[in-house]
Amino acid sequence: MDPSQTNQGVIPAPNNKPENSSPSLLRRNPLITRFIGIFAGLIVIIVLGIFIYQNYPFGQAAKASKEFYTGYLVKASQAKCDKNNQRCFRLLDSTGKVILFISPDGIKVRKSALMAMLGQLVRIKGIKIDKPPEPLRVIATQMESSSGEASKQGLIRKALMGLGGYSPADSPYTREAGTNSKSTSLYWRNIEPTMGTFNWGGGTTGAEREIQLCNDLNIPCNIMIGVAPAWAVTKSSQSLLANYQPKDKTPSNADWYCPEAPINMNNPSDANDNVVKQHFVDFVKKAAERYDGDGIDDAKGSNGRPLTVQSFLMYNEMDYYERNCGQAPWNTKHPEDDGKPFEGRRDGDLNKNGKPDWQDYADLQKDFYYAVKEVNPNLKVNFGTYGNFEILDQHYNGDEKTFLYKVLAHLQRTYSSSDAKFAQSFPYFDVMNAHYYEVYHCNTPFQEHDEYSVGGVRGEISWMKNIFAKFSKEGKLLERPFVLSEISDPYPFSAGSHQEEVMAINLWKIFAQSFSTGAEEVRWYDLGFGDPQFGLLEVKKKPDLPRKRPAFGAYQRLFNNLNGYGFHSIDFSNYDNLEGYLFVPVSASSTSNKIKTGNLANQPSSIINNSKEILWSIPTRPDFCSLKGSNWGNVREPVPAPPTIQKRFVATSIHTEDPFGKSQDITDGKTGDLDARRDGKITINISSAPLIVTVKN
């Protein structure tokens, strides 16, 4: 017989059977078959029992906790989670020590709820699992935020989206783009060029026109005070300015950067240092009085009404560390350590007063705070504009070596006993102000602290909150609201038009991610009249008639979509390759309303029907980065191209829009609904370019 017939299932004739063949052992012994079946069943039961024991509180020593555990909720990178993902969510104390491992119960506390609360101080109650290894694991059955009044009440804050940097008040493009938040600069050098002589400009200066625009639009306005006049730079600092000049000595660059060396406090080698300090404090008080709108010595706008601002901050990117005059070098390194690797680099003392420059800034921050509050306690004081330039210092030397930590530690250590108002004043600012640039996406600790292990602005803010959690105020972990006064994705001139499209795409992504951090205001740097590399406009070729880059239209569309909306939650729950951020309407009459965070199924139908989600697909493997020696770690490892994901919306009608203005209205079961069924659900494709999907039931 043809062997192929046997392979095709043809049974050989009995006479072709080998003579020595016999029935199988199992056929001859049915008891063995039963034994094997029972044994296999026991194995299945044992494995199932182990799984239940490890994942649920049944059948083991478990009891519900009566008290809440309070701490900082974080999610470890996937590499640090166990194989069952039970130790991904962790509650940390103020020192960063793990208090608990947390698992959601899936009913009262879902994984999506934990994800939405990452980076916050929370209170957890649940079922304790009394088994090694320690720390204890708790299956969370109740969770609430302890981070600020708004979070405690479950409030959603209106997304205040605006323009940072230089966006001229007299430019029609500022109003056309749209802004709900704005900042401007007040240069001490321009107002008091000689000691005791003030020139405020009477409403004609750029700063006062910017304030007038904020008042006309009824939006918050923040003033950055900086750039000391030459007479206020200490003698010892002045002698070193030659080493701190920028390489580009064009008038515009020199005008911005120099002389902005630190103002020395109590320098024994300079007799007039205390005089300089007092003049700076007096200048701050005059500025606060001029713009607080209390009816006393107020500046008047073109309409005759007082010009008012809401907050002040001192100097820009004060954590800058290079040995040049860029920004304000308060975080300088020892001259002998210039060019050396980051490991162990020593602090600099530019003004030669025997104290590191960061300590000078810390002391001046306290004086700045009291100067503003003495004039009007209702004015807010920001902590500089933290540029996060020192990430490699953190990577190599630890959090305790970073500018932010050192300043906070010095203020607490120095003034907790000597300042009678320390308890209510520490840390001597009301709002934390930070910058984020996508070009630094890969810098640690951004990735290490990001709950999704992809780095970015979420990781940056999470890291800063973690620094705050190392300090206490009146027995509680230190907390402060955040403002992202500059976010951007710089456009490299040599990249061509394609990079301009990438800039527009990333603008949507960075804004969505920024609002998810809980930032109260987020501003793009800038419109285009400052640094052309970052601008929404290309101003260089035709200053009077700038060209709108794709990012200008993207910004305008995002502003129009989010105006009147607030961030609700992160959508990572059911789609492994999807990143999404949900926004819902808030009350037009106030900054925030009492919409509860959490499952949208619990929200009023009007909220669900008008919700907007910004979403895009992400690579199968998280995009992660590596550091190369002492250089910036902005080299990303290659990752697979993001797949196209099909997402289903429970809706009868939706509206989609992309950063470039392409939009579509889709009705259930009709053109654009990929499932082609009228079933109360609409399925669409999501790619790596973000979409805004508005539910229009």
Q: In this structure, are 358 and 403 located in the same domain? A: yes
Radius of gyration of the chain (CA): 30
Of 572, 593, 591, which is closest to residue 582 (Cα–Cα)? 572
Q: In this structure, are 234 and 371 located in the same domain? A: yes
* CA distances in angstroms from 694 to 120, 571, 690, listed in the order given: 28, 15, 13
Residue pair 378/294 in contact by the 8 Å Cβ criterion = no
Task: Give the H/E segment covering residue 274.
Answer: helix 273-290
**What is the structure's pLDDT at 636?**
46
Q: In this structure, are 222 and 94 located in the same domain? A: no
The SS3 of residue 337 is helix
Counting the structural domains of the chain, the total is 4
**What is the structure's pLDDT at 523?**
95
Of 462, 581, 482, which is closest to residue 121 (Cα–Cα)? 462
- Residue burial 482-521, b: 16+ Cβ < 10 Å; e: rest: bbbbbbbbbbeeeeeeeeebbbbbbbbbbbbbbbbbbbbb
Q: Which two tokens stand for residue 225?
A: 């005070």
Q: In this structure, are 398 and 432 located in the same domain? A: yes
In a domain, 297, yes or no: yes
Q: In this structure, are 296 and 317 located in the same domain? A: yes
Q: In this structure, are 185 and 128 located in the same domain? A: no
In a domain, 11, yes or no: no
| 649 vs 103, more confident | 649
Q: In this structure, are 423 and 382 located in the same domain? A: yes
Q: What is the pTM of this model?
A: 0.76
The residue with tokens 């800063």 is 464
- Asked if the model's pLDDT at residue 57 lies above 60, the reply is no
Average pLDDT of the segment spanning 551-577? 86
- What CATH number does residue 142 fall under? 2.40.50
Q: Among the ranges 121-135, 500-514, 569-583, which has the highest mean pLDDT value? A: 500-514
In a domain, 99, yes or no: yes
In a domain, 356, yes or no: yes
- What CATH number does residue 243 fall under? 3.20.20
- Any idea of the CA torsion for 541, 542, 543, 548, to the nearest 10 degrees? -90
* CA distances in angstroms from 102 to 38, 71, 151, listed in the order given: 37, 12, 20
Domain region containing 192: 181-488
- Asked if the model's pLDDT at residue 522 lies above 90, the reply is yes
**What is the structure's pLDDT at 60?**
40
In a domain, 584, yes or no: no
Q: In this structure, are 44 and 92 located in the same domain? A: no
In a domain, 163, yes or no: no
Confidence of residue 498 (pLDDT cuts 50, 70, 90): low
| 442 vs 692, more confident | 692
pLDDT in tens, 322-362: 544 434 567 766 666 655 655 566 777 766 778 888 888 89
Q: Which two tokens stand for residue 119?
A: 């980076």
Of 541, 527, 579, which is closest to residue 691 (Cα–Cα)? 579
Report how far apart the first and last C-alpha atoms of the chain are (Å, whole number).
70
**What is the structure's pLDDT at 58?**
43
Confidence of residue 120 (pLDDT cuts 50, 70, 90): low
Q: In this structure, are 41 and 142 located in the same domain? A: no
Q: In this structure, are 230 and 373 located in the same domain? A: yes
Confidence of residue 573 (pLDDT cuts 50, 70, 90): low
333 secondary structure, DSSP code: B
**What is the structure's pLDDT at 270?**
44
286 secondary structure, DSSP code: H
**Residues above pLDDT 90, as percent of the chain:** 26
**Rounded-to-integer distance, Cα 138 and Cα 57, Å:** 10
**How many Å separate Cα 13 from the centre of its chain?**
77
- Asked if the model's pLDDT at residue 31 lies above 60, the reply is yes
Q: In this structure, are 48 and 78 located in the same domain? A: no
Confidence of residue 187 (pLDDT cuts 50, 70, 90): confident
Given 488, 509, 528, the domain boundary residue is 488
* Poorest-pLDDT segment among 140-144, 217-221, 304-308, 410-414: 140-144
Q: In this structure, are 306 and 424 located in the same domain? A: yes
Say which residues have a Cβ less than 8 Å from residue 265's Cβ, sequence separation at least 6. 273, 274, 277, 353, 360, 363, 364
In a domain, 550, yes or no: no
The residue with tokens 């979409």 is 691
| 668 vs 164, more confident | 668
- Asked if the model's pLDDT at residue 452 lies above 90, the reply is no
Residue pair 324/395 in contact by the 8 Å Cβ criterion = no
User: What backbone phi and psi angles, to 5 degrees, belong to 104?
Assistant: -75, 145
**Residues above pLDDT 70, as percent of the chain:** 61
**What is the structure's pLDDT at 442?**
62
Confidence of residue 107 (pLDDT cuts 50, 70, 90): low
Given 488, 523, 557, the domain boundary residue is 488
In a domain, 583, yes or no: no
Determine the length of the chain: 697
Given 428, 461, 488, the domain boundary residue is 488
**What is the structure's pLDDT at 1?**
42
Q: Return the ∠ at Cα 312 (arms to 309 and 314), rounded to 5°.
A: 155
- Asked if the model's pLDDT at residue 654 lies above 50, the reply is yes
Q: Which amino acid, residue 475?
A: G
* CA distances in angstroms from 42 to 60, 163, 584, 626, listed in the order given: 20, 66, 52, 48
